[in-house]
Each structure stands twice: as C-alpha cells, then as structure tokens.
Amino acid sequence: MKDLPIKIFNTLGHKEEFLKAIDPNHLRMYVCGPTVYDLPHLGNARSIVVYDIWFRFFKEIFPQVTYVRNITDVDDKINAAAKEQKISIQTLTQKIIEGFYRDIDALNVLRPTHEPRATNHISEMITMIEQLIKNGFAYESAGHVLFDVNSYKEYGQLSNRSLDEMIAGSRVEIATYKKNPLDFVLWKPSALEDDISSIFESPWGKGRPGWHIECSAMSFKYLGANFDIHGGGADLQFPHHENEIAQTRCAIKDSHFASYWIHNGFLTVDGEKMSKSLKNFITVKDLFDKGVSGIVIRYLLLSTHYRKPFDYNQKALDDAKKSIEKFYSLFDENDLKSYSKTEKKEGLFLEILKELSNDLNTSKAFALLHEKFKEIKSGNNQNLKNQFLQVFDFLGLMDVNFFGKKSELNNVDEFYINSQIALRIKAKQEKNWQLADQIRKDLLEKGIVLEDTKEGTSWKSV
C-alpha cells in the first residue's frame, strides 16, 4: 500500500495537503502525551485514540514507522496536585502513569515506538537552552531563562496570529522579568517549598525546565532535527506548539522541525465545555466503573471525524454500544478462533484504508462497516466475515472478552432480572426515581442493560 495517496489537513499551512515523507520508507511522528497529575479524561482519551489510529494506518503504508509520545512528569500542575494530596511527586506520577496505562490498554491503544519521560531528558533540555542563549534567541532574567519572541520573526505562523493578537487573545503571564509578555520560560528557578524530585541542577541554578522545551528536546533526540508529523489536541496549537516550533528552529541549524501538524478537535459534554467546575468532568475510569466496555468508548471517540468538535452525551454513548453489539452479533467464538491475522489483506480492508487515507476519515470507514454488515447478514459470506474481523482488529475494536459476555447469557437468572424490572416499574410509578436508577445501575454492574420503549422495558446482556 506504499503508493496510496494520503491527504492530511496541515495546520501549519491551514489547508489539506498530500503527505510526502522525508524518507519514503520511514514515517516519523511525534505526539504530545499526558501530563501525569490526574487520570485521563475523555478529551485526553480522544487524542490518544486518534493518534493510535494514525499510527496503525501508517504501519500499513510505510515499511517503518517511528512514533514518539512523551510523558510529562515534571510540571507546575504535578507539583500542585502532589501538595494537595500530601504525597511525593514520585508517588503521584507513578500512580497516575499506572492508571493511564490501565485505561488506554482497555481502549486497545498500541504502545508507541518510544515513550520518553521528561525527567529522564533534563540534560538534553539544558543543552538546547544553552544553544538558544548562544544563538541570541534566549536571555537570563531573575533566575529564569526565557525565549525572546521578538527575536524570531516567524512567531505566530502556526496559529496564524500577530503578536498583538496573541497577547490580547491568550492568558500569558505578565512578569517584570520578561521583555515581552509572550516571552516564555525555558528554565525556572525552584522555590523553597518544592519537592526535591522536581529540582534539577543547571548552569542557571537549581530549578526545572519549562513545559515547551521538553517536547523539543525529546523529539530532537528520537526523531532528529526534521521529521514528518507532529500531533496533539487543538488546545495545544497555541502557545505550546507555536513555542516548540520557535525554540527548535532557533536552537538547531537548518531545522524546519515537523513538516505536517495535525490537531484533533475539542470535546464537549452535552454541548458544554468539560470542566470540573461544571461537574461534567468525565474520566475514562468513570465510564469503566459504569460498566462501559473499552471498545465501546473507542468506537465512540472515533465516530466523529478527528478534526471536528466531539460532543459526548448519553445518546452518542448508547449509539456506540448499539453499533458494537450489532457488529458482534455477526460472529461467534468459532469465527474468532478461525480468524488469522496473517490472512491476505484485500477487499474490505483495502476499502477501509482508502477511506482513512482521506485525512483519517473514520466516519466514512464506519459507514462502510455498516453497509457490509447488511451484506454479511443477508448472505453469510465467510470470506467477507473474515475481512470484517481483519478490519475490526486493525481498528482496535477486537475484544475477545466481548464474545465471552455473549455466552454468559445462558447463565443469567432471568427470573431475577424480570423481578427487578417489575420492581423498577413500580418505583417509577411511585416516582421513586432514586430506587429506579439504583436498580438500573445494579443490573448494569451484572452486565444487564435495560431499554425503555413505548412497548415496555426490555433487557440484554453486554
């Protein structure tokens, strides 16, 4: 599939372009990973899953793919969270990293080629900062080292805004030690109350790196001065990615940094921005605790084109569940046992790759799956069945446990379920909504989903 034309919307040029890798045999991609102060919420998960699909797709097209996704384990947010929880930074970051892997593993996310941690690359960051000072693009002030934005004439190219527009439209730290409010921190001095694990030695005294320099130093180490793709959420476009471009190009001679910039869209909840203050902040673990399968969450997050805003709501979640259940109804455990990953990739698999080659159009790919579902259902074509499973595996939607859940249906006590449904109907008639909701929740924890229709209440195993 090496000759398949690939379209990507390049944020840097603000237009769709055909992908041309620096090395036709080796695609290199860097994506901003988690800052490990809290468990991943749905917005974080969307970004992780989107770039996992890009990674899977590129692996089908290029002989070699190097995918780097960093872990930020030194940051002001981490310090604040550790203090709030009254634990050490190392205890906090280790706990969150373990939770992060637990959650994304359940979403069938592949491990990147490299997953560098910021704290293991302090020396590379210091070297890059020293080079920026030497090249005249950074300065020391009040124990800080800052990038001089006015020294880089192309600053604002990615976000397509002037310096005045960026100052007016963003929250930048106004500080007396800055020449320009947009000047950003490359190195900051430590405070007396800082945890020792967040304090590092440097030519400018004890302190820690700024957030932006981390990604520049790690991408340079693992991918070189120039690579193909840099990705992340739309919220990172400015200032994080804008700053990465500036400092990397100014530190490394002849660097254009990333050729293509990809940004996935924002996530809202019932039409509102997700935030803890609105109490609509949803983590991946929250959905797991409600009995939602990882592949359902994965399907949900991929059902909207990655660049478009995605609104999480109960209907969208229900639709994702129905789609997964519908697809799995085609197969039994024997189909799964007879499926082989080594089978020739043809037909449906190639059609899916073609849809994804158009700026990763997962919406069209899923629509194609629904079309093929009808064809399989009407004709029971075993070859097409195998192709369907091959695509499911490729998209990360294969879950052997889901087949197991189907077979558990024979072990369900139907008398108990029906008695609980009757009790719930009575509770609703008496407007005892709390009891009705609790019955639904209890059954869900046992793998039973209730569906209320005009004809009454039905149930199914998940």
User: Are 135 and 25 part of one and the same domain?
Assistant: yes
pLDDT value for 171: 57
Sequence-separated (6 or more) residues with CB below 8 Å from residue 408: 447, 461
Q: What pLDDT score does 409 carry? A: 42
Domain co-membership, 284 together with 255: no
Residues 218, 287: one domain? no
pLDDT for 427 equals 82
Given pLDDT bands bounded at 50, 70 and 90, which one contains residue 127? Answer: very high
Strand pairing category for 184-189 and 207-209: antiparallel
Among candidate residues 264, 287, 317, the one where a domain is terminated: 264
Total length of the chain: 462
With tokens 């900062």, the residue in question is 129
Section 435-456 average pLDDT: 82
Q: Structure tokens of 410? A: 């024979």
pLDDT band of residue 392 (cuts 50, 70, 90) is: very high
Residue 114 burial (C-beta neighbours within 10 Å; 0-12, 13-18, 19+): middle
> Would you state the pLDDT for residue 344?
80
Closest CA to 221 of 246, 251, 194, 201: 251
* Out of 69-83, 91-105, 136-150, 422-436, least confident range: 422-436
Q: Please indicate, yes or no, whether residues 258 and 359 belong to a single structural domain of this protein.
A: no
Does residue 253 sit in the same domain as residue 288? no
**437 falls within a domain:** yes
pLDDT for 462 = 63
pLDDT tens digits for range 213-270: 999 999 999 999 999 999 999 999 999 999 999 999 999 999 999 999 999 999 999 9
| Whether residue 69 is found in the same domain as residue 198 | yes
* 215 shares a domain with 102: yes
At residue 318 the predicted structure's pLDDT band, cuts being 50, 70 and 90, is very high
**Cα–Cα dist 110/47, whole Å:** 13
Residue 335 CA to its chain's centroid (Å): 31
**Is 49 found in the same domain as 22?**
yes
* Distance from C-alpha of 132 to C-alpha of 203, rounded to nearest angstrom: 14
Q: Cα–Cα distances in Å, from 161 out to 139, 153, 165, 174, 184?
A: 24, 12, 6, 19, 17
Percentage, residues of the chain above pLDDT 70: 93
Q: Both 398 and 421 in a single domain?
A: no
Give percent of the chain with pLDDT exceeding 90: 69
Q: pLDDT value at position 431? A: 83
For residue 213, is it within any domain? yes
Domain CATH code at residue 226: 3.40.50.620
Kindly state the average pLDDT of the residues 274-300. Answer: 88
Rounded to whole angstroms, the Cα distance separating 172 from 260 reads 26
Better-scored residue on pLDDT, 378 or 461: 378
Residues 6+ apart with CB under 8 A from 386: 338, 339, 343
Q: Report d(CA 26, CA 226) in Å as an integer.
A: 13
More confident call, 90 vs 341: 90
- pLDDT value of residue 401: 66
- The neighbour count for residue 437, using CB atoms within 10 Å, is 13
Annotate 402-418 with b (16+ C-beta within 10 A) or e (fewer): bbeebeeeeeeeeeebe
CA angle 401, 360, 364 (to 5 degrees): 75
User: Domain range spanning residue 119?
Assistant: 7-264
Is 186 part of a structural domain of the chain?
yes
Amino acid 81: pLDDT: 94
For the stretch 94-111, pLDDT in tens is: 999 999 999 999 999 999
Tell me the average pLDDT of the chain: 90
Same domain, 39 and 118: yes
Phi-psi category of residue 134: left, alpha or beta, with phi > 0 → left and psi -120 to 50 → alpha: alpha
Helices 42-61 and 348-356 meet at what angle, rounded to 10?
120
Does an H or E element contain 230, and which?
Answer: strand 226-233
Going by pLDDT thresholds of 50, 70 and 90, the confidence category of residue 458 is confident
Give me the CATH number covering residue 316.
1.10.730
pLDDT score of 212 more than 90: yes
CB 348 within 8 A of CB 388: yes
Q: Is the pLDDT reported for residue 412 higher than 60?
A: no
- Whether 1 maps to a domain, the answer reads no
pLDDT given for residue 1 in this prediction:
62
Q: What is the pLDDT of residues 66-88, one digit of tens each?
A: 999 999 999 999 999 999 999 99
Comparing 20-29, 33-42, 57-66, 411-420, which segment has the lowest mean pLDDT?
Answer: 411-420
Q: Is the pLDDT of residue 150 over 90?
A: yes
Helix/strand/coil for 179: coil
How are beta strands 138-141 and 7-10 bridged, if at all? unpaired
150 falls within a domain: yes
Looking at the domain assignment, is residue 206 inside a domain? yes
Both 291 and 352 in a single domain?
yes
Is 2 inside a domain boundary? no
> What one-character DSSP code corresponds to residue 88?
-
Distance separating alpha carbons of residues 439 and 428, to the nearest angstrom:
11
Q: Of the residues 205, 235, 264, which one is the last residue of a structural domain?
A: 264
Q: How many structural domains comprise the chain?
A: 3
Amino acid at the residue 195: D
DSSP type of residue 5: -
pLDDT band at 137 (very low <50, low <70, confident <90, very high): very high
Instruction: Give the burial class of 254: count Cβ atoms within 10 A of its Cβ; 0-12 exposed, 13-18 middle, 19 or more buried.
Output: exposed
Higher pLDDT, 420 or 306: 306
Looking at residue 410, what is its pLDDT? 40
Q: Give yes or no for residue 365 having a pLDDT over 70.
A: yes
pLDDT at 406: 47
Which residue shows structure tokens 């106004």?
174
| Mean pLDDT of the 349-363 span | 97
What is the pLDDT at residue 408? 44
pLDDT at residue 386, as a whole number? 87
Q: What is the pLDDT of residue 172?
A: 60
186 touches 210 (CB < 8 A):
yes
Calculate mean pLDDT across residues 190-218. Answer: 94
User: What's the CA gap between 429 and 107, in Å, rounded?
Assistant: 39
Whether residue 433 is contained in a domain is answered as yes
Same domain for 142 and 194? yes
- The verdict on pTM exceeding 0.75 is yes
Q: What is the pLDDT of residue 2?
A: 66
Contacts of 459 (CB under 8 A, 6+ apart): 417, 421, 443, 448, 449, 450, 451
